[in-house]
A and B are shown apart, each in its own frame.
Chain A
Amino acid sequence: MNPFSSETRLRDMIRAIRACKTAAEERAVVRKECATIRASVSDNDNDYKHRNLAKLMFIHMLGYPTHFGQMECLKLIAAPGFPDKRIGYLGLMLLLDERQEVLMLVTNSLKQDLNHTNQYIVGLALCALGNISSAEMARDLAPEVERLLLFRDPNIRKKAALCSIRIIKKVPDLAENFVNSAAALLKEKHHGVLLTGVQLCTDLCKVSPDALEYIRKRCTEGLVKLLKDVVNSPYVPEYDVSGIADPFLHIRLLRLLRVLGHGDADASDCMNDILAQVASKTESNKNAGNAILYECVETIMSIEDNSGLRVLAINILGRFLSNRDNNIRYVALNMLMRAITVDSQAVQRHRATILECVKDSDASIRKRALELVYLLVNENNVKLLTKDLIDYLEISDQEFKGDLTAKICSIVEKFSPEKIWYIDQMLQVLSEAGNYVKDEVWHALIVVISNASNLHGYTVRLLYRAVQKSVDQEVLVRVAVWCIGEYGDMLVNSVGTLGIEEPITVTESDTVDVLETAIKHHTSDLTTRAMCLIALLKLSCRFPSCSERIQDIIVQNKGSLVLELQQRSIEFNSIIQKHQNIRSALCERMPVLDESSYSIRRAGSLPAVASSLQGSAVTLPNGVAKPSAAPLVDLLDLSSDDAPVPAPSQGNDFLHDLLGVDLSSGLSQAGTNQTQKSGTDALLDLLSIGTAPASSSFSALDGLSLGQGTDTSISALSGLASTSTAMPATQPSSLVGNSPMVDLLNGFGPSEQIQAEENNAAYPSIVAFESNNLKMTCNFSKQPGNLQSTLIEANFINKSSNVYTEFIFQAAVPKFLQLHLDPASSNTLPASGDGSITQKLRVTNSQHGKKSLVMRIRIAYKLNNKDVLEQGQISNFPHGL
């Protein structure tokens, strides 16, 4: 069998693989072939090396592993014959890359081949070196390559030139060795050598300032002359591409001139004429000509200023832009983007055409054009451009709407000349593509609306109209719901009508209709529905006539499967029913949102977890003073992921939600301030007062609310809810009283008095919960070696003189905790401390060391056959559990 007839067998294998119907079949064939090749490799079967490697390359292309063939490449390269070397080098380039260590083994063979007497073998070695050499190889073989730059055959010289490029990129300090020979290449006649020589000079100039200086001085004139010759050369069939002699050489010469002319007035002067000639004489009806013009424009833009040439260049781009060929328009947009820094006026002239490109059917072009339009916007043209873009938004492709919306919003925010325009544009965007608008954007819109007090009526009427038409645009609905909640009365009474508005008559029940539709609409998500509930609550106060209807709508959500909604509706319902006296205060309009602090926050921080107590809290749309860095995101306290696991919704939850406080932030602060804190008073957490006096937390609570009530005209709760500064912790000391807050708590009594008991154990026991009737103490222990989990032994003591029966203890923890309850020792609690119930709990803290334990509890029992329910929160767990 002769070693060169491998072709037939390679063909057979390819045929067999192609005949495979399934991937599994193909794998089977490949596996079999690989096995044969391996066997042949281990037999060191010289006859088939050549063929085996060819097969391996094919298998490699299909994506199968072929590393076992790497050594075969090296063997073939070391073989004496040309055919072996040819396939060996090909395999080397295909199967290996520069990062494989095997490559080092080939350096010696390469060195020999670079000195081979057969020029084709030298060529193979140069090609391999140029394509995959590592820095070490480049250093080792640089002298050989340098010598080959002077080789007698031009085909070797050109390969050596490209090899040199690889070498100087891998090892830039070798650059100076190549400068002289590279400059010499520029005097050649052979186009291949010229082409590569020019390229080598360009790369030398990029890596070495000395080389740049040298070539600029010695070669600029020669290059200009060379370009002139090429431009004016007669028809040469060998190099002709659609009527242009060697466009590749043109392009490389222009590129080198660009490097030489950049930052050097003399060199730039020298090339002005020829650039003008190329720019004006090159045929632009073929791709090759346009490629040259492209390069020429680039060069004109980067060399030293010559206004005449620049006009020429911008005109070329203008022609490109109106070309019917998509490719040409694409590059025109790309280049205009770079030209904008040089001459933005000139680019502005093409605005209309560029705007057309935004509407192109080609995604690549649209994307470029949109970027460019974005750069073109300024105070003068913003209205025009925005109008156009918004008009287009209506008909644009779905997948483009996201990009387009983001850009429009950004333009509107950046350049809006007045608030009414900003609001108009944003509402249009929301109506067209509300679902693509990012949260920050509509949050910012709400801040702006809140600040434009003269536009409240106008905005709410506009939104009312818009939301009738575009029910599906979730974000639009949210903004509308918020505004209706805040300014619904202006809608009905047509307050603050602007001249430009069409008169509109809206009744109170129309307004409620909008909210009812929104809350029931199938696309509305949790946030929207929750916002609707708040808006309804506010309206119930503003539209007394609709109060009952609103209550009905709210009550419908009592059965919602979403805890958040269920809870809210129960709470709001109770406000409407039982707390008329504070309702109007609760439903006050939001104080104006602070624009500056909002924008700072937006710029400076990611919406994440609340961190600093000290920073002045931002007033949020629903009136919460909140130290969080996530101003609006948490506005509805929907971050229930972080919040403790939902316990039955009463008591604490009520206030949490009403105030919209992100519970987790309060808790994490509670954790850090544990030692000074009195513990379970959720309200203090809510208010983010980490340094409350360790004593009577409850009076502090009353004091707070009352203090607010007297200090400000608004009443206690809304005072709490909307104060924009963090509550000073000192205030509570002054006042004690019976504030509405207590009512709100519905007798959820003084259950949270805590004394921190110091125990000498590793972890002190605590009184976790105490009410008039009941006291719960906790002892802690840890199993050695398992820091995350804690054993808690809870003891319950009956302080009353009646027996408690059917005693049930329940607990809930946030997600980062895992809770396991063991059965309680009994379900009957004898009277007067005459015995106790012991309940063991195991808690595993997955964030041990970062977060402290926290737990919400509920205790149910029967007292004289009457159901009693007590609940509370334990957050005074010792540190380090």
Chain B
Amino acid sequence: MIPISRNNKNSGHLFPLIQRQILSPPLIIIIPSSKMIHFVLLISRQGKVRLTKWYSPYSQKERSKVIRELSSLILTRAPRLCNFVEWRGFKVVYKRYASLYFCMCINQDDNELEVLEIIHHYVEILDRYFGSVCELDLIFNFHKAYFILDEILIAGELQESSKKTVARLVAAQDSLVEAAKEQANSVSFIISQATK
């Protein structure tokens, strides 16, 4: 396993840095039944939800219940134990990166070790995208974290194993948005000029 660096406490609520090849473990991804990953959860050490992605149908009520149950299950586990907890007949693979737990829910007979790699894959891509990602990045740019996740997983299955490709695709879409923004800016500028 890649050694994990934990940032010291003075970094506040910041998500600790993920250095090249060094990931601290706080993202949570969980996925339910017929698919590989049923859902992905990102929970902070304090139990705040930072990201949720549901690939199996859960009603709003069930979702909050799942989050509550898992937070209490996972946040209370001592360090150095294995990264798997059994829950309602599923397995939740979790890994802590600094102040965040990344959790993914899979079926009993799925490959837990691979899911750990997927979590790590996602964290590395986030790290590259934000440049030493921290929890605050994921709070204020939560939609970006979702966009990136959508380039990695669809329907609970992995879609891309190349970090470079994911980064390229996200960047391309970001620049499309930027371009549209500029265009709009200029248009609104023109309009505001015209209406003066």
The residues of A with any CB-CB pair to B shorter than 8 Å are 1-4, 11, 14, 18, 54, 57-58, 61-63, 65, 81-83, 86-87, 90, 93-94, 97-99, 120, 123, 126-127, 130-131, 155, 158-159, 162-163, 165-166, 169, 191-192, 195-196, 199, 238-239, 241-242, 246-249, 251, 286-288, 290-291, 294-295, 298, 325-331, 338, 361-365, 367
Min CB–CB distance A360 → chain B (angstroms): 9
- Taking CB atoms, residues of chain A closer than 8 Å to B160 are 158, 191-192, 195
Complex Cα gap A58–B145 (Å): 12
Interface contact A291-B184, CB-CB below 8 Å: no
- Taking CB atoms, residues of chain B closer than 8 Å to A131 are 53, 55, 150, 154-155
**Chain A: CB-nearest residue to B34:** A169
B69 contacts the other chain (CB 8 A): no
Complex Cα gap A325–B83 (Å): 10
Interface contact A11-B140, CB-CB below 8 Å: yes
- Taking CB atoms, residues of chain B closer than 8 Å to A163 are 154-155
Complex Cα gap A11–B163 (Å): 28
Interface contact A61-B155, CB-CB below 8 Å: no
Interface readout for B133-169 with A: 1 if CB under 8 Å, 0 if not? Answer: 0000001101100110010001101111111110001
Interface contact B111-A162, CB-CB below 8 Å: no
Interface contact B185-A4, CB-CB below 8 Å: yes
- Taking CB atoms, residues of chain A closer than 8 Å to B58 are 97
Interface contact A195-B161, CB-CB below 8 Å: yes
- Taking CB atoms, residues of chain A closer than 8 Å to B169 are 123, 155
**Chain B: CB-nearest residue to A206:** B34
Contact A364 B140, CB 8 Å, known A120-B172, A163-B155, A248-B117: no
B84 contacts the other chain (CB 8 A): yes
B11 contacts the other chain (CB 8 A): no
**Chain B: CB-nearest residue to A367:** B86
Complex Cα gap A367–B55 (Å): 28
Interface contact B161-A239, CB-CB below 8 Å: yes
Among A82, A83, A123, chain B packs the most CB atoms within 10 A around the CB of: A83
Label chain A's interface by main secondary structure.
helix
Interface contact A159-B140, CB-CB below 8 Å: no
**A/B interface sample: 7 pairs, CB < 8 A:** A61-B51, A63-B64, A81-B180, A83-B177, A163-B155, A192-B165, A291-B117
Contact A330 B112, CB 8 Å, known A86-B147, A120-B176, A166-B155: yes
The residues of B with any CB-CB pair to A shorter than 8 Å are 1-2, 34-35, 49-55, 57-60, 64, 80-86, 109, 111-114, 116-118, 121, 139-140, 142-143, 146-147, 150, 154-155, 157-165, 169, 172-173, 176-177, 180-181, 184-185, 188
Known: A2-B188, A361-B81. 14 other contacts (CB 8 A): A2-B185, A4-B180, A61-B49, A83-B181, A87-B143, A120-B173, A191-B162, A192-B160, A195-B158, A195-B161, A247-B117, A248-B117, A290-B113, A367-B86
Interface contact B185-A239, CB-CB below 8 Å: no
**Chain B: CB-nearest residue to A254:** B111
The residue that B81 contacts in the complex, of A83, A90, A362, with Cβ under 8 A, is A362
Complex Cα gap A286–B58 (Å): 35
Interface contact A4-B184, CB-CB below 8 Å: yes
Interface contact A57-B114, CB-CB below 8 Å: no
The residue that B57 contacts in the complex, of A62, A63, A99, A130, with Cβ under 8 A, is A99
Interface contact B154-A327, CB-CB below 8 Å: no
**Chain B: CB-nearest residue to A252:** B158
The residue that A239 contacts in the complex, of B55, B60, B162, B188, with Cβ under 8 A, is B162
Contact A330 B84, CB 8 Å, known A97-B54, A159-B159: yes
Contact A90 B146, CB 8 Å, known A97-B58, A99-B59, A367-B86: yes
Complex Cα gap A602–B169 (Å): 64
The residue that A90 contacts in the complex, of B59, B117, B143, B162, with Cβ under 8 A, is B143
Complex Cα gap A61–B64 (Å): 10
Interface contact A331-B139, CB-CB below 8 Å: no
Among B64, B80, B155, chain A packs the most CB atoms within 10 A around the CB of: B155
Interface contact B57-A330, CB-CB below 8 Å: no
Interface contact A192-B162, CB-CB below 8 Å: yes
Contact A364 B52, CB 8 Å, known A131-B155, A239-B162: no
Min CB–CB distance A436 → chain B (angstroms): 21
Interface contact A364-B176, CB-CB below 8 Å: no
Complex Cα gap A247–B34 (Å): 22
Interface contact B184-A3, CB-CB below 8 Å: yes
Min CB–CB distance B100 → chain A (angstroms): 14
Among B50, B112, B162, chain A packs the most CB atoms within 10 A around the CB of: B162
The residue that A192 contacts in the complex, of B51, B60, B83, B159, with Cβ under 8 A, is B159
Interface contact B180-A82, CB-CB below 8 Å: yes
Min CB–CB distance A296 → chain B (angstroms): 11
- Taking CB atoms, residues of chain B closer than 8 Å to A1 are 188
- Taking CB atoms, residues of chain B closer than 8 Å to A290 are 113
Min CB–CB distance A93 → chain B (angstroms): 8
- Taking CB atoms, residues of chain B closer than 8 Å to A62 are 49
Interface contact B176-A127, CB-CB below 8 Å: no
Complex Cα gap A93–B51 (Å): 13
- Taking CB atoms, residues of chain A closer than 8 Å to B147 are 86, 90
Interface contact B117-A14, CB-CB below 8 Å: no
Complex Cα gap A325–B2 (Å): 12
- Taking CB atoms, residues of chain A closer than 8 Å to B57 are 97-99
Complex Cα gap A490–B22 (Å): 71
Min CB–CB distance A285 → chain B (angstroms): 9
Min CB–CB distance A7 → chain B (angstroms): 9
Interface contact A364-B86, CB-CB below 8 Å: yes
Interface contact A14-B140, CB-CB below 8 Å: yes
Contact A159 B82, CB 8 Å, known A63-B49, A331-B112: no
Contact A130 B173, CB 8 Å, known A90-B143, A155-B165, A291-B114: no
- Taking CB atoms, residues of chain A closer than 8 Å to B162 are 191-192, 238-239
Min CB–CB distance B139 → chain A (angstroms): 6
Interface contact A327-B111, CB-CB below 8 Å: no
Min CB–CB distance A433 → chain B (angstroms): 23
The residue that B176 contacts in the complex, of A83, A286, A294, with Cβ under 8 A, is A83
Interface contact B81-A364, CB-CB below 8 Å: yes
**Chain B: CB-nearest residue to A293:** B113
The residue that B161 contacts in the complex, of A248, A291, A295, with Cβ under 8 A, is A248
**Chain B: CB-nearest residue to A167:** B155
- Taking CB atoms, residues of chain A closer than 8 Å to B2 are 242, 286-287
Complex Cα gap A251–B35 (Å): 16
Interface contact A162-B146, CB-CB below 8 Å: no
Complex Cα gap A648–B50 (Å): 64
Interface contact A126-B154, CB-CB below 8 Å: yes
- Taking CB atoms, residues of chain B closer than 8 Å to A295 are 111, 114
